[in-house]
Each structure stands twice: as structure tokens, then as C-alpha cells.
Structure 1
Amino acid sequence: MRNTFGNIFTITTFGESHGRGLGVIIDGCPAGVKINEDFIRMELQRRKPGQSKITTQRKEEDNFEILSGVFEGLSTGTPIAMVIYNTDQKSKDYSHIADKFRPSHADYTYHEKFGVRDYRGGGRSSARETAARVAAGAVAKLLLASYGVAINAYVSQAGAVKLEKPYQELDFNLTESNIVRCPDADTADKMIELIDQVRKERDTIGGVVSCVAKGVPVGLGEPVFDRLHAVLGHAMLSINAVKGFEFGSGFEGVTMKGSQHNDAFYTEGDKVRTRTNHSGGIQGGISNGEDIYFKVAFKPVATIMQDQESVNAQGEKTTVSGKGRHDPCVVPRAVPIVEAMCALVLADHLLLNRSSKI
């Protein structure tokens, strides 16, 4: 099982949903990065469960402890290890599925691949693993900030409720102003109403998280197989419940002619710019200095509070009843996860680019 991501700025996550805790080891972080623990804590608070009526009611403060790699507030260049202890596990909520496979979960595939599985909350397959990614992503963000790179994600769709405004018209400072993390108040209200209604129906719904990275320097990305958008796609599709990824014009670009889609170049001072940005800030797999923007589609949460047909480990027909505490829609808590994975990709490629020139 591969638990490591990245080339130079690498992370290795460990732990399970209902184990003692989980954590991450960051290797390759340069020395001298100011490690702001309050910022890391804030990022974890954005992802933690129990935030509102439209998220799971599991109560985890997600307090973290830095075990190594930081001295007097600065990274030392050695591995940074962080741990987050679990405090609100209710493993008995999962005893009824010890030998049953929940529909659209990883229960069956883990059982077949490894011959053993931790059924408590999904064990390693649980989205709780992403807390470690958010902690590591916070460190990556601190590194990127010193290069002037800023990353902002937000919920752009919940079920059929879609934010129609382009990101250029949004104030990202408003993203955290509501519980669904949509920077448009009217659309946010409609999303919250829909998610709450689905929750009351004991069901779930999916959504879309959009992300924008500003200030990315020209030259990030490695031809041919590690094109920047390919690695971003890899990162996003590694997040639990993700079913789709598109960047730039995405699927809408197929409706345009080349004369409409091409991004014309011009100079602005000593910089080469593009008049449009259908390319999403990446051309030939390499960043061109424009905003990088993409969308990530999340499926409805697989655990629903209804009876579902399934089979057990012996292949016998059975019924799975939903129990425990689960999100009716995952996208509000997925926003910091998407930002974290984007930050990890950009930090890694920034260091790769730095090492590729004399």
C-alpha cells in the first residue's frame, strides 16, 4: 500500500479513523520556513467534523502535536512529523458491518486485496485520513506564501444548486462567512437549504469544489508524464469520494472553436501574459504564470441512514443499515482538503523547478 505523495516535498500519512490517532511525516521541506502553528490549527479547524448541522456530528478538535523537524518556530530541513490523536471514536457503531460490505464503500475491495480490513469507520479508507493531508498542506502553504502563491477553494455546486458566477467576480474573503463555504450569500443559502433537507430525508448529496491558485510562477510542471495538470488530477482524485476533475475550460471547451479557445499572448511590462485563460494557467503541462483554476466533483456520501441491499464476506445476501455519524454532503469540509492537495503539488513542483536549473 503506497502512502507517500510527492517527489522532493513528500508526505507520508499514517493512521486509521478509529485507531489511536493519525499523522504525517513531511520530508524535503527546506530549512528556514516559518512554521506558524496557529495557521496549521486554523486549517485543521476548517476540516474537522462537527462544525455545523450540515456536517457529521463526530466531535474531534483535531489538536495536533509536532514531534520533529521544527526548532524555535522554523523548519530545520529534517523530517517534520505531526500527529493528531483521535478522541471521539464510537467503534460500536460499526460492529454490525464487521462481515458486511457497505455499498459504494471500500469494504469489499480492501477485503479482496488484503484479506483483512478494519471495519471501524472504514479504517485506512476513511476520509479522516485527510486530516493529515490538511496539516501537511498547511506547511506547504506557508512555504508557497514566501513565493507569493495563494490558493483559494470554495463550494461551487451542491446537488443541482450551482454558483453561476465566474471566480473573477467572487470575494474569497467571504468563503468562510457561511457553513457551506460558498462565497456568494444567495447561492450559499440555497445550498444549505438543500443539504439540510437531504439530511432530514436520511440521504446524502454530492457537489463540486472549485479552486484557484494565484501567483504561481512560470515553469512549474515536468514533461511528459508529470505535467502539472496531470499531477493535480492525481492529487485531487486521491481524495475520498472524488469522481471528477477538470481544469481550465474543461469539458465546456469542446463547444468552442480553436479561434475562440486560443489564449492570445501580449506583454505587460516585462511579463508575457494571455488575454484569456482557457488554458487554466497551464500550457504544455507547464504553468504559464496565469491563474491556475480547476474543479473537483464529489459523489454523494456512500453511507446513508437507510437500509441497503448487499452481501457479506461469505457472499450471502444481506441488508446493511446505516448507523453512526456521517456528512449529508462532504463538500463543505472538502474545501481545505482540495486546497491542501493543491499546495502540496505546487510546493513539490516549485522545489523540482528550482533544482532543474543551473
Structure 2
Amino acid sequence: MTDPGTLVWDAIRGGARLAAIRTMVELECAEHLRDGPLAVAELAERCGAHAPSLARVLRTLASMGLLESAGADRYALTPEGATLDREAPLSMRSAVTVTTDECMMYALSSLTETVRTGRSAFVERYGVLYEHLSRNPEFGQEFNDYMTNRAVPMARGVAERYDFTGVETLVDVGGGRGHILAAALRANPHLRGVLYDLAHVVPDAREAFTSWGLADRCEFVAGDFFASAPRGADAYLLGSVIHNWDDTDALRILTNVRAAMREDGRVLLVEIVLPDDDSPHFGKDLDLRMLGIFGQGRERSRGEYAVLLEKAGLGIRQVVGLPFNASLIEATAV
């Protein structure tokens, strides 16, 4: 008979496994094992760690599949463990350091208080996330690396899986450095872009597009999507924008985009789309992080996006699956 407590025990065990991964990252075990297996004593010396304590962490990491035994008291990296090397393509290192940072863990440990009051306990202690990042530049850089490593596969997915036929001008609303827009431009030589974001963001975006050799195909426009959007484009891209806001603010953004777009235009939302039923989904876990960190931000199901878009005068035409459990929602005027 299945123990009804199994689900809870698995969740409890998850905390210890995550702590082991954080330790592996902070001690740079993946980097030290990059060139081949090492004995525990040798690895401990290189990491500056207490060998008997490290051995216990390594044993757990091996049980998770991040390391594997290579003889008595000797360990080697697996392909999964190698993703934690800072030099690995799309390294997972920043994902670990950011999500296990003290402030992020506080957002989860104080979730009960957030739910009781409806106000983010994280914001009460640390302030708005992006202000906290600006005050802590080292953590801010880790966060930017984390966002980039998530954005690149999603951007590639948009470029490869969405048909931009009929789109000549694509406006990236709140595009940041414009990873998704850049991928779309590379894959569609006929396309021209407009990157639209706050004034302090635009110079960094322009520098990035220049380094990518795409600056001559993109216009950079400073503005506030709560006030307006560039008018008359064929399509408007909002990549991981709407999930940062509650329904009231999200509707303001979408209404401004709807007012700016042509009647035959398209709105492309790149977001995590939750299932409308009780099935497990990565986005449901992420939604609790959003609740704890922002209070107002949220992940939404397809049904919830349909309602939100309808209020803005838009309707879902199709949903295209993307990497990292994300989706592209194509909406048109109704």
C-alpha cells in the first residue's frame, strides 16, 4: 500500500537535495572535476573544504545523478553535474545561486505571511526586487545571467517554431536587451525590429544589438508601456512581461498595445501557460515564487489569459509550445 505521506516526505527531502546542489556550486566542485575524477581528499583540498563533511555531500550528489563513483572515495562529473560548471553552455550555476540566495529563500519561508496579508513579505524586508538587485550588483549580475540563460533557449524556440510570414515590423514591448527579438531577426531576414523599453534600458539594448550585428535592422524607442506603445506595427512581442503584473496592470499594458496595433496585427505573448486542471506543472511552482517575491505578479492558465486578452479586445488564435515549459500565445483583434 502506498504511504499517503510519501508526497510530503519527497518535498521535505527536496530541501536537503537543493542544499547539496548549492554547496556543490559554492565550492566549485564542477569546475574542479572538469578535467577528470578526483579523490575526496584531493577535491576537498582544492575546494578548501573539510574532507569528511564534503564526502557526505558528494554521496548525496551521486545519488541524485550529478556525480558518479569512480572508485573508492573518488568521484567524477556526470553530464548533468557538468551543467553546474560556470563555463558550461547555458550553465545552470546562476539558476542555483539566484534561487537559493537568502532573499529568495526568505520569499518562500515567509509565504504564509504573504498569503495572510496579501502583501509580499519579501518586498517589506528587501524592497522591490529590481531595486534590491541595483543595490547588490554582484547578485544583480548573477540574476542577469540566470535570466539570459533562460531567455536564450526560449528565444531560439520562438524563432524556430513561430511563422513570421506576413510580419514586416515586430515591436518588442518591454524587451530589455532584446534576446527574443534578436533571434527572430536572425531567423527572418525580411523582418525589422523596434525595441521599446524604459529610457535607462535602451542604451544597453542598443549596445547588445550592435555587438550582434543587428543594430541596422532595429529601432530603439524609449517609453513606458503603461502609457503607450509604438503605433502601426504588424506584430507586438511581450516576452515574460505580463506575468510580472496583476490583472489590472496587465490589462493596462495589453489595452495600450491593442490601441497601437493595426486591425490585422498580432500580439505575441511569451509566457508560461499553466494547465487549467490539477496536473503538475513547473509554472505552478514558479507562480509561488512570483507570489512570494512580487505579491502582484502571477503565472496564468490558458483560460485566464483568454479572459484577460478578451477584456483588451483580443482573442487567442493559437498557442505554440516553447522550451523551458514556456509557450507563445498568438492573439489577434476581435
TM-score range, shorter chain: under 0.3
Question: Larger C-alpha radius of gyration, 1 or 2?
Answer: 2
Q: What is the TM-score of this pair, normalised by structure 1?
A: 0.24
Q: Which has the larger strand fraction?
A: 1
Higher relative contact order (CA 8 A, sep 6+): 1
Q: What is the TM-score of this pair, normalised by structure 2?
A: 0.26
